[in-house]
Amino acid sequence: MSDSGKAPSAPWSWPDELDALVAAPKHHRVLLENAQVRVLDTRIAPGEIVPLHTHRWPATYHVISWGDFVRRDAEGKVQVDTRGRPPVAAGAALWSEPLGPHTLENVGVTDIHVVSIELKTASAAR
């Protein structure tokens, strides 16, 4: 997750099979979807690794519970490791640009539980 407000300019180039709901349905559940938004409930238990997947649209994330995680790209290179950083408080809101192929491993001792609101209309050109 990032706090950058700048959208990437490249068109979306990853296959639909890598969409979070298709590639990692154990961890992502749709709460609402229409032409403008998709709201996902994401839960990752300690020790779990979410399979390789993408998030096509920019999103806000509402943190229900937080734990340390390691996000890796498709080649296994670490993109983000939250260990040693201050934890994100329950109730916090975060922003993320679209995310290309990645895995996410919960390396903490608590569940990661976030509700994301993906803004489909923010990237209609993708």
Which domain CATH number covers 89? 2.60.120.10
Residues 25-29, mean pLDDT to the nearest whole number: 98
Domain membership flag for residue 1: no
The total number of structural domains in the chain stands at: 1
Q: Are 84 and 67 in contact (CB under 8 A)?
A: no
Show the CA angle centred on residue 98, arms to residues 72 and 119, nearest 5°.
Answer: 145
**Structural domain range at position 64:** 16-121
Q: Is a pLDDT exceeding 90 seen at residue 125? A: no
Domain membership flag for residue 11: no
Place of tokens 């993408």: 54
Q: How does residue 121 score in pLDDT terms, banded at 50, 70 and 90?
A: confident
Residues 62-71, mean pLDDT to the nearest whole number: 97
Give phi and psi for 27, each to the nearest 5: -105, -15
